[in-house]
């Protein structure tokens, strides 16, 4: 019997240390890693470097949030993370049916082509050539200062295409700034996180039910505070999958 078990154990060891996937590459390894790091978006498309309606940027600008450098370098952890669900909620409040190709309705002169087909350099050129109008762009309605600074923080080159993947990464950076990781680690209350989100995306309400930027450039909340609160809490208590 002992000889038989020794033979089985040796066979298992050979299998484990063969050229098959490592734990980090396996489904089990990815699942275990995802439980601690559910935030991150897919890898950049070929030709991009490794590395909102966003209204804020990092501490070097006017943001009330502290950037967390390095966290966005982790591997892709799946599409239905908490961050992905939050991005869907942001898109409903900010982009409408245009999704990743959304452009602020108040922009009189639109970009020369669909935003997802433009490089960052082309978007910057459109912004510079059309002063005096709104320039919020993409699924998360990034405004120019936020877009430029966030792209710089992620190390994106001007030739990087403003693809859905890149837009998601930029949004994930702002979600992290707002405190998503801290909420998951029990270091921040959900209410504080919701307020931080409302300070970034004008379509979200504060407890009064109004946008944090109510009346500024026509901004208003598009969700009731009750619905906003219930939805965010459901997202934050649901397991990533």
Condensed to tens digits (0 to 9), the pLDDT of residues 156-173 reads 999 999 999 999 999 999
pLDDT level of residue 107 (50, 70, 90 thresholds): very high
pLDDT level of residue 4 (50, 70, 90 thresholds): low
* Alpha carbon distance 35, 78 (integer Å): 11
Tell me whether residue 188 is in a domain: yes
Specify whether the CB–CB gap between 38 and 142 falls below 8 A. no
Q: Domain range for residue 87?
A: 35-237
More confident residue, 93 or 21: 93
Tell me whether residue 196 is in a domain: yes
- Nearest to residue 233, comparing CAs of 190, 198, 197? 190
Q: Is the pLDDT of residue 35 over 70?
A: no
pLDDT level of residue 1 (50, 70, 90 thresholds): low
Q: What is the DSSP letter of 18?
A: S
Q: What rounded mean pLDDT belongs to the chain? A: 76
Tell me whether residue 8 is in a domain: no
The arithmetic mean of pLDDT across residues 33-53, rounded, is 34
* Alpha carbon distance 89, 13 (integer Å): 47
What's the pLDDT at 240? 57
Tell me whether residue 16 is in a domain: no
Tell me whether residue 126 is in a domain: yes
Tell me whether residue 180 is in a domain: yes
Tell me whether residue 109 is in a domain: yes
Q: How many domains does the chain have?
A: 1
- % of the chain at pLDDT higher than 90: 61
- Of 43-52, 122-131, 139-148, 203-212, which gets the smallest average pLDDT? 43-52
* Alpha carbon distance 115, 142 (integer Å): 12
More confident residue, 55 or 214: 214
Could you read off the pLDDT of 48-86 as tens digits, one per residue? 333 333 333 232 333 333 333 333 333 333 446 999 999
What's the pLDDT at 151? 98
Tell me whether residue 79 is in a domain: yes
91 CB-near residues (< 8 Å, 6+ apart): 99, 139, 140
């Amino acid at each position: 019997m002992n000889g038989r078990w020794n033979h089985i154990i040796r066979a298992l060891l050979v299998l484990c240390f063969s050229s098959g996937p490592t734990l980090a590459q396996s489904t089990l390894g990815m699942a275990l890693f995802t439980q601690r790091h559910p935030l991150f978006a897919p890898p950049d498309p070929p030709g991009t470097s490794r590395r909102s309606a966003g209204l804020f940027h990092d501490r070097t600008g006017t943001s009330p949030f502290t950037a967390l450098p390095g966290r966005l370098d982790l591997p892709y952890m799946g599409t239905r993370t908490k961050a992905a669900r939050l991005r869907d909620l942001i898109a409903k409040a900010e982009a409408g049916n245009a999704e990743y190709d959304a452009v602020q309705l108040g922009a009189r002169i639109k970009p020369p082509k669909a935003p997802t087909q433009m490089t960052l350099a082309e978007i910057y050129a459109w912004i510079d050539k059309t002063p005096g109008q709104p320039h919020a762009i993409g699924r998360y309605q990034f405004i120019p200062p936020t877009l430029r600074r966030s792209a710089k923080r992620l190390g994106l080159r001007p030739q990087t295409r403003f693809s859905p993947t890149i837009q998601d990464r930029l949004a994930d950076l702002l979600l992290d700034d707002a405190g998503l990781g801290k909420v998951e680690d029990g270091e921040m209350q959900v209410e504080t996180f919701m307020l931080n989100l409302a300070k970034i995306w004008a379509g979200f309400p504060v407890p009064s039910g109004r946008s944090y930027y109510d009346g500024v450039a026509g901004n208003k909340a598009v969700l009731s505070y009750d619905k906003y609160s219930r939805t965010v809490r459901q997202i934050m208590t649901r397991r990533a999958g």
